[in-house]
Amino acid sequence: MKTCIYPGTFDPFTTGHLDVLKRGCAIFDKVIVGLLKNSSKTPMFSLQERENFIRKAAQAEGITNFDVISFDGLLVEFAERQGASALLRGLRAVTDFEYELQMAAMNKKLKPELETMFLMTSTQYSFLSSSIVKEIGAYGGCIKGLVPEVNRLEIAERLVRQ
């Protein structure tokens, strides 16, 4: 049974994240979305909201071999507790590369047997980020196609009255 961890803040979960999750679930027996609890980024959406968004979006896509588990502390230790053999990350553009390389190298140093695997984000999502969704939504702009459709209204309403 090959399990991987797809870690992140997911504030909020975008269609780009969903694309990576779906493709990861086609490769691994199980994908655990590792939702970071105490991010230095101070998330706008609560842990419970973020978890609900991910679960609803994945279920609407008919994905069954996933779970969402929040974690604190080191990612490699969380991965070990979950029995995962790999970390999964999406790569959008060269701008992501340096940060991702640093994290992958550091995680490899901490736990050499844990591989980091990257999926290139599908081109239609290469411009997309959680920050851009928050910015557009805060100004009342249309976020259709940017977040999973099942979550769109809830996210839009939250963003506009923040």
Which residues are tagged catalytic? Answer: 17, 41, 92, 130
Residue whose CB is less far from ligand PNS, 31 or 36: 36
10 Å CB burial of residue 157 (0-12, 13-18, 19+) is: exposed
Minimum Å distance from CB 144 to ligand PNS?
23
**Binding region for ligand PNS (CB under 6 A) out of 18-26, 45-53, 99-107, 153-161:** 99-107
Residue choice 27, 101, 106, 120 for contact with ligand PNS (CB under 6 A):
106
Residue whose CB is less far from ligand PNS, 12 or 137: 12
Told to check if 103 binds ligand PNS by CB under 6 A, we report yes
Told to check if 24 binds ligand PNS by CB under 6 A, we report no
Residue choice 60, 74, 142, 160 for contact with ligand PNS (CB under 6 A):
74
Told to check if 14 binds ligand PNS by CB under 6 A, we report no
Which positions lie near ligand PNS, rule CB under 6 A?
Answer: 7-9, 36, 74-75, 103, 106-107
